Amino acid sequence: MAKKKNLRSSEWFNSKNHKRDTFLHRGWMRNQGHPQHLFDGRPVIGICNTWSELTPCNGHFREISDYVKKGVYEAGGFPLEFPVFSASESNLRPTAMLFRNLASMDVEEAIRGNPIDGVVLLMGCDKTTPSLLMGAGSVDLPTIGVSGGPMLNGQYQGNTIGSGTGVWKLDADLTAGIISENDFIDAEISMSRSKGNCMTMGTASTMGSMVEALGMSLPGNAAIPAVDSRRYSLAFMSGKRIVEMVNEDLKMSKIITKKSFENAIKVNGAIGGSTNAVIHLAAIAGRLEIDIGLSDWEKSGKNIPTLVNLQPSGKYLMEDFYYAGGLPVVIKRLLEKKILHEQCITVNGKTIFENNIDAKCWNDDVIKKYETPLVENGGIKILRGNIAPDGAIIKPSAASPELMKHKGKAVVFESVEELHNKIDNPNLDVDENSILVLKNCGPKGYPGMAEVGNMRLPQKLLKKGIRDMIRISDARMSGTAYGTVILHTSPETAVKGPLAAVQNGDIIELDVERGVLNLLVDEKIIKKRVDSYKPVLPDIKGGYQKMYVDHVMQADKGADLDFLVGKRGDKVKRYSH
Ligand code: FES
């Protein structure tokens, strides 16, 4: 393969006109022991690492990075690893989503400002995948994604348990008095028994699948368990491939196109993917100046059957998914039905068709056949109506079929705090036909749009054996959660979206098939209530959070900061010493 001339790293390391600068750039790098020949004009590959001990899902990324480096060296490149902000879903407060955009800014500036010709993105825990793709998208160098992979299946008391999904079930059982406090604690390490990210089809595994469906990783990336030797081989091969991508000038914008997003939306339906993908794909698309909105989910996501039988929609876990053949089988099954754009190019230079059409399935109960799916019409359903003029979403595959068409009395909570204070009050006027409504949890309201939309059910109903009710909010929900949960109502309550108008006892109508979500109250009364509504706004003292609240866009636009949308390229001003 011909080597690319005029590498951007040569501006730092090989400039003939600025010998003093070159000395300074090269000399200081050499304090790490790099020999001179590594600065001979070979591609410099940045390894963008979200490793952190506070992001346990990404705790093994230094090992993965070592394998990427081996591949880069073998292909004649020079790998340099750098850390970026790592947003941990399990630890970061008030919510990791608040920091997705901050992390993306870090990624973008770190890539652009450094002597890098191509980038490997090491991604795992939920927000680390979109933040890296968003930041890298705004620079648009040759880029390849390597996910950290899921944990091994949880094993508890003779049964498998899935990350997140198991927690919601165990918590309901504890509240209902079915299990003890000690049982609950024992389940912790039984659930998380290896390195890796959540092994349900939660947001992390969904976004890993989106990376593969978009063509941004080598085939098979989504499902290989974090501790499986094949994960490390894939990292090695990705390191090798990024050097070739630099020489081919195969930039991110040549791979990610409107069509590849449409493919990703369809794949999301087939895997029963997380509702969070709606927000993250919109934000990534925005960075690459591609318009992806709820209407694309309506169009491309329509009538896609859910094939993957994984929790929270089904019964298996990511380890099973990998052993059954992983995402290539899902893509093959959609390709056979002519559902995908088959000519979309991927990072290995081949089309999505060439990569996946020969995939083999080893377990048709884990990856169902197209003709006998887990759910006929899976995916994400978009709802509209006077509560959510700019849309709301529901994941039918994780919901109760009998609640998909329902009218019920609203039980309203103005904030998460009010929900926690009142939900278990025995005098709360609520029954299983009621609809729980939570306000002020959108992008500006919480802030960061916390994953609180799958509200816990009232204790008195849990004790009666009720396990699902309709819940509506402007919040998000964990990709591992389940239930008849309507999310992302836009505009949010904090900017006086019409969810603000809902009061206790109002009747709400839901019809998922027709895509309808309405408050059955006279429109004039709704307007009057909205006009006089006083949102519960967060107490922001300044700093990044102030900037976030001032600039964050609504959920239907991807909740990116308005000034971050778009490509700003890889050009950077020379700093002359
Ligand atoms: Fe990190 Fe679930 S908490 S992937």
122-137 confidence digits (pLDDT tens): 999 999 999 999 999 9
* 262 neighbors 296 (Cβ within 8 angstroms): yes
φ/ψ of 61, rounded to 5, equals -75, -20
Rounded distance, CA 230 to CA 232, Å? 5
Q: Which residue has the tokens 């504890």?
A: 174
* 55 neighbors 88 (Cβ within 8 angstroms): yes
Q: Mean pLDDT in the chain?
A: 95
Token digits of residue 412: 């309203």
Kind plus residue range of the DSSP H or E element containing 168: helix 165-175
Residue-level pLDDT at 577 = 62
Q: How many angstroms is it from 28 CA to the middle of ligand 1? A: 37
Rounded distance, CA 395 to CA 351, Å? 30
Task: Confirm or reject: Cβ of 198 under 6 Å from ligand 1.
Answer: yes
Residue 451 identity: E
Q: How many angstroms is it from 122 CA to the middle of ligand 1? A: 14
Token digits of residue 569: 């390229």
Rounded distance, CA 461 to CA 456, Å? 10
Residue 166 pLDDT grade (very low, low, confident, very high; cuts 50, 70, 90):
confident
Chain segment 62-98, per-residue pLDDT in tens: 999 999 999 999 999 999 999 999 999 999 999 999 9
316: three-class secondary structure by DSSP? strand
273 contact partners, CB below 8 Å, separation of at least 6: 201, 206, 209, 210, 267, 380, 479
Q: Which of 173-182, 354-363, 388-397 has the lowest mean pLDDT?
A: 173-182
Q: Is the C-alpha dihedral spanning 453, 458, 463, 466 positive or negative?
A: negative
Task: Confirm or reject: Cβ of 451 under 6 Å from ligand 1.
Answer: no
Task: Confirm or reject: Cβ of 57 under 6 Å from ligand 1.
Answer: yes
Q: How many angstroms is it from 33 CA to the middle of ligand 1? A: 36
Chain segment 256-309, per-residue pLDDT in tens: 999 999 999 999 999 999 999 999 999 999 999 999 999 999 999 988 999 999
Residue 173 has pLDDT above 90, yes or no: no
Nearest CA to ligand 1 atom 2: 198
Residue 17 pLDDT grade (very low, low, confident, very high; cuts 50, 70, 90):
confident
**Choice from 51, 54, 57, 476 to test ligand 1 binding pocket (greatest atom count within 8 A of CB):** 57
Chain segment 366-422, per-residue pLDDT in tens: 999 999 999 988 889 999 999 999 999 999 888 999 999 999 999 999 999 999 999
Chain segment 91-123, per-residue pLDDT in tens: 999 999 999 999 999 999 999 999 999 999 999
Rounded distance, CA 39 to CA 77, Å? 10
| Distances from the Cα of 71 to the Cα of 38, 75, 111, angstroms | 15, 6, 20
Residue 525 identity: I
CA-wise closest residue to 162 among 124, 190, 126, 123: 190
DSSP codes of every residue in 320-370:
HHHHHT-HHHHHHHHHHTT-S-TT-B-TTSSBHHHHHTT---S-TTTB--T
Q: How many angstroms is it from 225 CA to the middle of ligand 1? A: 14
Residue 450 has pLDDT above 80, yes or no: yes
Q: How many angstroms is it from 99 CA to the middle of ligand 1? A: 15
* 464 neighbors 295 (Cβ within 8 angstroms): no
Average pLDDT over residues 330-337: 98
Residue 530 identity: V
Rounded distance, CA 537 to CA 531, Å? 16
190 contact partners, CB below 8 Å, separation of at least 6: 154, 155, 156, 157, 161
φ/ψ of 507, rounded to 5, equals -95, 130
Residue 2 has pLDDT above 80, yes or no: no
Residue 3 has pLDDT above 80, yes or no: no
* 460 neighbors 467 (Cβ within 8 angstroms): no
φ/ψ of 545, rounded to 5, equals -60, -35
Rounded distance, CA 493 to CA 63, Å? 44
Cis peptide leading into residue 396 (ω within 30°) = no
Residue-level pLDDT at 454 = 93
Residue-level pLDDT at 576 = 65
CA-wise closest residue to 444 among 543, 559, 558, 529: 559
Task: Confirm or reject: Cβ of 197 under 6 Å from ligand 1.
Answer: yes
* 269 neighbors 330 (Cβ within 8 angstroms): no
**Choice from 165, 197, 205, 276 to test ligand 1 binding pocket (greatest atom count within 8 A of CB):** 197
CA-wise closest residue to 252 among 154, 118, 80, 81: 118
* Residue 362 CA neighbour count, 13 Å, CB half: 10
Task: Confirm or reject: Cβ of 126 under 6 Å from ligand 1.
Answer: yes
Provide the percentage of residues in the chain whose pLDDT is more than 90. 90
* 363 neighbors 324 (Cβ within 8 angstroms): yes
* 43 neighbors 118 (Cβ within 8 angstroms): yes
Index of the ligand 1 atom closest to the CA of residue 197: 4
Provide the CA 493 distance to its chain's centre, in angstroms. 24
Residues constituting the chain: 577
Rounded distance, CA 330 to CA 345, Å? 18
- Give ∠ CA 403-312-284 in degrees, rounded to 5: 100
Rounded distance, CA 489 to CA 472, Å? 8
Residue-level pLDDT at 4 = 74
Residue 168 has pLDDT above 90, yes or no: no
5, exposed or middle or buried, with CB in 10 Å at 0-12, 13-18, 19+?
Answer: exposed
Rounded distance, CA 141 to CA 123, Å? 17
Average pLDDT over residues 207-235: 98
Rounded distance, CA 518 to CA 508, Å? 6
Check: pTM over 0.85? Answer yes or no.
Answer: yes
- Give ∠ CA 57-61-62 in degrees, rounded to 5: 145
